[in-house]
A and B are shown apart, each in its own frame.
Chain A
Amino acid sequence: MSAAPTDAARTLGLPEHPDPARMRRERGVRLRAAMADKGIDALVLLSNSNVTYATGASWPLSDHGRGNVERPVAVVLADDDVPHLFTPFAADVATRVDLDDGHLHGPTYLDVGEGVAAFAAALGELVPPTATLAIDDVTGAMHGARETFFAEWPPRSASDVMGPARLIKTPDELTYLRHGLWITEQAMADVQARLVPGARQTDLTATFLHRVFELGAEANVLDPIWQVMPDRQADLPWTTHGDLACPLLSTERRLERGDVLWVDTGISFGGFHSDFGRTWVVGAGPTDRRRAQHRRWCDINDAVVSVMRAGVSAADLTAAAKAVCGGDRPWMSHFYLGHGLGLDSAEAPYVGTDLGESYDRRLVLEAGTVVVIEPVVWDEGHSGYRSENVFVVTDDGCVSLTDYPYDPYGN
């Protein structure tokens, strides 16, 4: 790991190097406890992030389409400390993940009927027919074969087990996460240094991708967003809900001096996703009016940080943010004030979604939870400001894992 130790790492007691074996062991204990609690004998996991959680294996994620066909699958048994991994990347994984031959299997092809039948046979070797299975995702071919593959339909959901287990990050997990954030920020600094009028949005992406791979990213996970924000909302596309249209796709659009850019992207490292959000201005400093937007944004961020600690609810965070804005909601209504970050770019806990106030009141933060706070300040007629900061919730507060300046808005 090349990220320099910082106060955050010391405060959180992070190891200099993560220990993958310890990480998987601790996850396994957590998963099997939840399985016992829910009466589940075996978990069958298809989603990339759940497979990574259960096995510790990670790989350069491919495009969605290919990722569906060549997907590793994990099987977690209630009475076995070691997970089973079915993977097309067996040769790679064997060297990095300490799985014996009995637990490391060849690829499965669950998008194809023949592959589903073969996997059902392999599963039959691992679990008795009477076992209670839970699964996270079902391919079309599995759906087609549901009468033979599933003992009950609808099948039991693995999310009851995976969700709570993945919510709290261990020091090893935070070490991976932090390194991914470090790679992202290093690359972003290079992009920002080359932010000049005339550059295309795709040129910024070219620089970003080049640097993150050089710095050791496992994969890019999101087509980077460099959205030019107009002064007025009417100059953005129409929306179903009347709120801002964001994020919009990047193209070969050339940037102009004074363009306000909302930047958002993330990469993966060791399976962990990073998240980065800042507002930049192309080739110029922000106007005084826009500096004031940034100060307002900082006030919201600070208000949320001042209440964030283990034991408070998501509703406490949204209330703190709204209080700064006279009761108005300073985030986009199709998103949230904050979201979790880990093996997915956005994962539980979600703070301030359209699930509503009562959901937020029931959602109580625990120490070790990662929350990305992303308020939005929109100043109609003068564009707006949006940034994201990544925090780890602790017993007596929270610790920022984001270490990137607010330039050109100043700190």
Chain B
Amino acid sequence: MATEPLPDPKALRHARRERALAAMEAHDLDLLVLGRVANIRYVSGVPVLWNAGTRPFGPGAVLVRATGEVHLMSTWDEGVPKEIPRDHLYGITWNPMNYVAVLERIGADLRPHRVGTDAMSPLFAQLLPMAFPGAAIVDGGPALRDARRVKTSEEVDAIRAAVAVAEAGLAAAVAELRPGVSERELTGVFMDAMATRGVTTPATQDVVRISTARGAREAGADGRVRAGDVVAFDAGVVADGYTGEAGRTWPVEPDGAAGAVGGLYERWERLWGRLLAACRPGAVGSGLLDAYKAAGEPLPRRPIGRGLGLGFDDPVIVGDLPETAANERLDPGVVLLVTGCVTDDRVASVIAHEAVLITPDGPEVLSGSPFWNRERGGATT
């Protein structure tokens, strides 16, 4: 991170904007009106103040296909690159009719036929037709997905950098794992280590979980780790807009339950071998779901594959969305966070997340954090 807020590097900005414009062409969109933070940054290259959680829709940026110009909601020009001139900035306002006036001005000469948005609200479902009379207001999500799904090489570099910060935070938290420490103290250690490396924005704040089976979990209801517990770490950061994430599960002084815990790790390794094999270029996303089946492991309820990119990205691969997974192709340049999760209801869950880049030659695992070594009781990479 720099000592002043800077726009994303030029190569990154231009490559992304070209992809967005090509997708607009392919989806016959004259304008994109964007409300999602990651999409706004994708087309503008401007860092914005981070908030946790969902935000209501508002027109944060407009991309014009005919000219490639970006109009941006920003009350100041800090972090705004030269290609977005000051007269293309519009300030935050509390009166939604002011946004209608801004959008009207942008659309006046262009007379767009099709305007895509990445989200919507009941209010803007009323207002956007006023701003763009005669235009069809459509879901621009598919166009943005097409643009963003496959990463440019600059984007892959940014994800690698984010993964490195996530793993440094993970290592710092794991180093403090011992009986008596609490989930929230370990979360604090992770956050501190992340911010000390110049990245202050977590991707997830559900960082540390004692995953020991219910009986022991209830005994440790204060969130304090006990000897014999199994603790899952999910370390995710947003660095320069890009998400990097990695996760590991560590047992705490596992002497007594080593056999049962060791068996879980063995199952995890078998599952992981199948998951990684499913990440070959050109494969479909449902291969990850099949890997669980082939390994004889029940599918967790949460996603087992998620796109990493500028923010949280497509695809989402989860048992609840089988068609989506079947239609998702793992092309070279897709970056996935792949989750292996095995559970023994009497013992614990072992969960690990790995960032995987699909390359023409096969999967490349971007994360390299050590695992617990069941033979030696220490770490292994």
Contact = CB atoms under 8 A, between A and B. Distances in A.
Contacts of B118: 140
Given A71-B54, A107-B320, A143-B119, A205 B195 contact: yes
B269 interface: no
A77 interface: no
A47 B119 CA distance: 12
B60 to A, nearest CB: 11
B256 to A, nearest CB: 25
A237 B78 contact: yes
Interface residues of B, number: 86
A209 B311 CA distance: 21
Interface stretch (B13-21, B88-96, B291-299, B364-372): B88-96
Nearest to B80: A237
B16 to A, nearest CB: 15
A64 B36 contact: yes
A139 B204 CA distance: 21
Contacts of B204: 60, 62-63, 66
A250 interface: yes
A340 to B, nearest CB: 13
Contacts of B2: 251-252
A252 B1 contact: yes
Interface in A269-308: none
B249 interface: no
Contacts of B50: 63-64, 222-223
Contact of A143 (B139, B201, B238): B139
B373 interface: no
B76 A248 contact: yes
Interface string A153-166: 11111110000000
A210 B120 contact: no
B318 A241 contact: no
A63 B119 CA distance: 17
Contact of A237 (B77, B191, B303, B316): B77
B138 interface: yes
A382 interface: no
A140 B117 contact: yes
Interface string B117-129: 1111111011000
**Interface-central residue, A115, A158, A214, by most chain B CB under 10 Å:** A214
Given A205-B195, A240-B91, A61 B53 contact: yes
A249 B195 contact: no
Contacts of A49: 53
Contacts of B122: 134-136, 138, 154-159
Contact of B94 (A222, A254, A353): A353
A94 B94 CA distance: 38
Interface string A336-356: 100000000100001001111
A252 B184 contact: no
Interface in A27-51: 46-49
Nearest to A207: B192
Given A137-B57, A213-B184, A248-B76, A238 B86 contact: yes
B140 A140 contact: yes
A143 B121 CA distance: 9
Contacts of A112: 316, 321, 324
B52 A220 contact: yes
Contacts of A207: 192
A355 B125 contact: no
A248 B78 contact: yes
Contacts of B192: 206-207, 209-210
A157 B321 contact: no
A63 B243 contact: yes
A322 interface: no
B227 to A, nearest CB: 22
Contacts of B36: 64-65, 68
B55 interface: yes
B29 interface: no
A316 interface: no
A106 interface: yes
Given A106-B301, A140-B118, A63 B321 contact: no
B187 interface: yes
B253 interface: no
B333 interface: no
Contacts of A60: 204-207
Nearest to A66: B312
Contacts of A213: 184-185, 187-188, 191
Contacts of B81: none
B131 to A, nearest CB: 14
A156 to B, nearest CB: 6
B76 A237 contact: yes
A139 B311 contact: no
Interface in A215-235: 216-225
A90 interface: yes
Contacts of A336: 94
Contact of B203 (A66, A107, A153, A211): A66
**Interface-central residue, A48, A64, A155, A205, by most chain B CB under 10 Å:** A64
18 contacts: A49-B53, A61-B52, A65-B37, A88-B301, A118-B320, A141-B141, A202-B200, A206-B193, A206-B195, A209-B191, A210-B189, A213-B191, A220-B52, A222-B52, A241-B75, A248-B76, A249-B47, A355-B94
Interface of B: 1-5, 36-38, 47, 49-57, 74-79, 86, 89-95, 98, 117-123, 125-126, 138-142, 184-185, 187-189, 191-196, 198-207, 236, 238, 243, 301-303, 306, 310-313, 316, 318, 320-324
Interface of A: 46-49, 59-71, 88, 90, 106-107, 109, 111-115, 118, 134-144, 153-159, 200, 202-203, 205-207, 209-214, 216-225, 236-241, 245, 247-254, 268, 334, 336, 345, 350, 353-356
